[in-house]
Amino acid sequence: MKNKRKEILKDLLGEFGSEESGEEDIESPDEKTYEEPVKESEYVPEKLDSEEEDFSSDYYFPQKSETEEDSDESYLPRKTEEKEKKSLFLDDDEGEYHLDSIMRNDAPAERNISQPKDDKPKVDRTKRRTKKIKKMSEGIKAEIIEEGLIPSYNVNVPKFTERERQLLNEIREKLVEVAVSQGEKFQLNEGSFIGEVKEFLKMRGVRDTDKLATQISQEMLGYAQLDPMIKDDDLEEIMVIGTDKPVFVYHRKIGMMQTNVIFEEDTDIRAIVDVIARQVNRRIDQQTPILDARLADGSRVNATIPPVSADGSTLTIRKFRKDPLTVIDLINFKTLSSHLAGFLWVCVDGLGVKPCNAIIAGGTGSGKTTTLNTVTSFTPPRERIITIEDTLELQLPHNHVLRMETRPPNIEGKGELDMDTLVKNSLRQRPDRVIVGEVRGSEAITLFTALNTGHSGFGTLYSNTARETITRLVNPPMNVPNIMIPALDFIIMQNRMYRPEGGSIRRVTEVAEIVGMEEGNVQLNRVFEWNNVVDKVEYVGIASQTLREIAELRGIGVTEIEEEIEKRRLVLEYMADNNIRSITDVGSWINEYYRDPDEVLEKIL
Ligand SMILES: Nc1ncnc2c1ncn2[C@@H]1O[C@H](COP(=O)(O)OP(=O)(O)OP(=O)(O)O)[C@@H](O)[C@H]1O
Ligand SMILES: [Mg+2]
């Protein structure tokens, strides 16, 4: 790859790319010292991360299918040792087990579910299945079994005994009373809450108040059984679909998985929904049975309660990526080709004369917001970016970014700040770039007015084809006048394709350029398209109008622009080859290129 890059650079740069260009100083990437980029579609379920341990470690992950009787008791650990029966309570003999034991990391070997239980033909399940234990934090682990129609994701959050649950419910009722009496002023401090719970438990004769108080606090103020899933960065989505049904998760590499968590009571799901609502100072009730919110870690949440959701309360959590995907990841995953990435870099930059406008369109969960984030990251550092979103998702490496978030109406139906209001407001804030997270309503006209008056903007839009994107834009509820559409330069179509073996791949399937209007119809020109045979996003070869415009305004030829695309492509390929992929690293390489392109090109030779 390095030699090829050198050859192309020599062609592009003439003398500059000669052998004497300081090769000594620039170390060639030692293949072995760099981690091979993970191809999204080539996931080998060997080891999920460094914290994972082999299944031979003795954790107990209750699963219905693993127990002899398919009873509700199956969630409880088997009663193997007398001491485990010891109750937490002085006066309690209902307690089936000691909470300590289920949380214990050194549980006895008999607890290992792979251990044969009787004299039936012994099947060593560890051999048959791919099992991994993933440790999220102390005491929080998940077991991953990649087998069957739907792989399993089992968590080891302890269950409460009947007695403990009674106490929990009493505390919950008391808390609700306090919350109701204090109204809007109600605020909860986790530290003092645990203290008060301990006092209460002591009064009720509980011996080990520390552990139980912490667990009660986690159940009431945290996300209870969802906690391990919320802490697992490998999950893309967590889906609670009602009572008496398993919670599902979407694993970034394995795909859809079924968990061992089943909420039997709607109040248990509601308790989590209420915690989330409280954190963002919103309410979910009969009048407003839908909640859109954000968790403290940035994850996007949608919750519904009956009667809107027929089978109980639901929760859909789109996990926030602490380490966001960058253009280099997208190249490694083959979502984009390096050529397309170089092309978009030049168009987003506009070489100082014509920054392009674009809409990233596609189906739900196809990766639109992620591609929007990577495309926006090409914005030159001297520009002022204003982002407007329903839930803050974008993570840009730039310093000069104003992040705006919409606000739903309060309980009296007042105080709403919708997309349109924020887009209008952004135009008074002297933006260089207006980024709208999701275009779907009247804000579309405001955005297109901005684009028609010389602003630059990007956004995402839900649609299946480039043509449909236009149809949706010009029809209700967006109602953008046809005549305004040509202010848009590109529609980048992104799709998510599911794989029969599990997981999915995401591809930019088309980049359509808007080239004008003919007899009232918007004319589209396909510049890039996905070739599914070779699985590559390829340049169609029809000269892009945007490139011609940039060339004209710069007073240079299109060939020079194409050379510039090639140079940037090589920089991106160098970064991909050398695993330079974090948002900060990619951001600083892009900035370096803006500062001194020749220096960067010299570095990658
Ligand atoms: N190219 C990609 N390759 C692999 N994973 C991706 C890619 N793009 C996005 N993802 C992951 O897929 C999930 C959904 O991505 P994203 O939020 O960008 O999709 P979206 O189309 O904006 O979804 P929505 O329709 O819900 O707004 C995220 O967890 C993200 O990390
Ligand atoms: Mg999105």
Summarised one tens digit per residue, pLDDT across range 176-219 is 788 778 776 777 777 788 889 999 999 999 888 888 887 888 77
Window from 95-104, 478-487, 506-515 with minimum mean pLDDT: 95-104
Q: How far is the CA of 310 from the centre of ligand 2 (A)?
A: 26
Q: Of all protein residues, whose CA lies closest to atom 12 belonging to ligand 1? A: 367
Of 307 and 125, the one with more pLDDT: 307
Of 451 and 126, the one with more pLDDT: 451
Q: How far is the CA of 373 from the centre of ligand 1 (A)?
A: 11
d(CA 402, CA 433): 10
Q: Of all protein residues, whose CA lies closest to atom 19 belonging to ligand 1? A: 367
| pLDDT score of 91 more than 50 | no
pLDDT for 190 equals: 72
536-539 and 521-531 as β-strands: parallel, antiparallel, unpaired?
A: antiparallel
**Mean per-residue pLDDT over the chain, rounded:** 81
pLDDT for 138 equals: 54
d(CA 434, CA 408): 21
Ligand nearest to the CA of 332: 1
Q: How far is the CA of 262 from the centre of ligand 2 (A)?
A: 28
Ligand nearest to the CA of 43: 1
Instruction: Give pLDDT tens digits for 395-434.
Output: 999 999 999 999 888 777 788 999 999 999 999 999 999 9
Q: Give the pLDDT band (50/70/90) at residue 14.
A: low
| pLDDT score of 71 more than 50 | no
DSSP 492: E
Residue for token pair 């209007």? 517
d(CA 358, CA 78): 58
pLDDT for 530 equals: 97
Q: Of all protein residues, whose CA lies closest to atom 10 belonging to ligand 1? A: 367
| Domain coordinates in residue numbering, the chain | 64-318, 327-604
Q: How far is the CA of 248 from the centre of ligand 2 (A)?
A: 20
Among 229, 297, 370, name the best residue to mutate to test ligand 1's pocket (greatest count of ligand atoms within 8 A of Cβ): 370
The token pair at 418 is: 């919708």
Q: How far is the CA of 495 from the centre of ligand 2 (A)?
A: 13
Q: Identity (one letter) of the amino acid at 12? A: L
Nearest in space to 313 (alpha carbons), one of 299, 303, 323, 298: 303
The token pair at 322 is: 């602490």
Could you tell me the fold of the domain covering 327-604? Answer: Rossmann fold (3.40.50)
Q: Give the pLDDT band (50/70/90) at residue 436.
A: very high
Ligand nearest to the CA of 292: 1
pLDDT for 573 equals: 98
Window from 59-68, 242-251, 383-392, 437-446 with minimum mean pLDDT: 59-68
Peptide bond into 597 cis (omega under 30): no
Q: How far is the CA of 447 from the centre of ligand 2 (A)?
A: 17
Q: Of all protein residues, whose CA lies closest to atom 3 belonging to ligand 1? A: 506
Q: Which residues contact 271 (CB under 8 A, 6 or more apart)?
A: 172, 219, 220, 224
H or E element that contains 401: strand 401-405
Q: Give the pLDDT band (50/70/90) at residue 264.
A: very high
Ligand nearest to the CA of 364: 1
Pocket of ligand 1 (CB under 6 A): 40, 236, 321, 325, 330, 333, 335, 362, 364-370, 460, 506
- What 3-state class would DSSP assign to 256? strand
pLDDT for 62 equals: 59
Could you tell me the fold of the domain covering 64-318? Answer: Beta-Lactamase (3.30.450)
Of 500 and 440, the one with more pLDDT: 440
Q: Give the pLDDT band (50/70/90) at residue 157.
A: low
| pLDDT score of 128 more than 50 | no
Q: Of all protein residues, whose CA lies closest to atom 29 belonging to ligand 1? A: 236
Average pLDDT in the 560-570 region?
97
pLDDT for 86 equals: 37
Q: How far is the CA of 437 from the centre of ligand 2 (A)?
A: 7
Nearest in space to 297 (alpha carbons), one of 254, 212, 235: 235
pLDDT for 45 equals: 39
H or E element that contains 240: strand 235-240
Top-ranked range on mean pLDDT: pick from 122-126, 131-135, 177-181, 516-520? 516-520
d(CA 478, CA 470): 10
Which atom of ligand 1 is the closest one to the Cα of 372? 18
Q: How far is the CA of 249 from the centre of ligand 1 (A)?
A: 15
pLDDT for 32 equals: 33
d(CA 349, CA 383): 10
Nearest in space to 378 (alpha carbons), one of 605, 599, 575, 589: 589
d(CA 58, CA 78): 14
Q: Give the pLDDT band (50/70/90) at residue 13.
A: low
Beta strands in 282-335, from DSSP E residues, in sequence order: 290-294, 300-304, 314-318
Peptide bond into 477 cis (omega under 30): yes
Average pLDDT in the 477-494 region?
97
- What 3-state class would DSSP assign to 581? coil
Ligand nearest to the CA of 496: 1
Q: How far is the CA of 528 from the centre of ligand 1 (A)?
A: 21
Which atom of ligand 1 is the closest one to the Cα of 366? 21
| pLDDT score of 142 more than 70 | yes
Compute CA 333 distance to the chain's CA centroid, rounded to the nearest angstrom.
15
| pLDDT score of 43 more than 70 | no
H or E element that contains 584: helix 583-595
Positive or negative torsion for Cα 363, 239, 329, 130:
negative
Q: Give the pLDDT band (50/70/90) at residue 26.
A: very low
Q: How far is the CA of 247 from the centre of ligand 2 (A)?
A: 22
Which atom of ligand 1 is the closest one to the Cα of 365? 23
Ligand nearest to the CA of 371: 1
Among 300, 335, 369, 460, name the best residue to mutate to test ligand 1's pocket (greatest count of ligand atoms within 8 A of Cβ): 369
d(CA 188, CA 178): 10
Which atom of ligand 1 is the closest one to the Cα of 325? 31
Instruction: Give pLDDT tens digits for 355-395.
Output: 999 999 999 999 999 999 999 999 999 999 999 999 999 99
Average pLDDT in the 529-553 region?
93
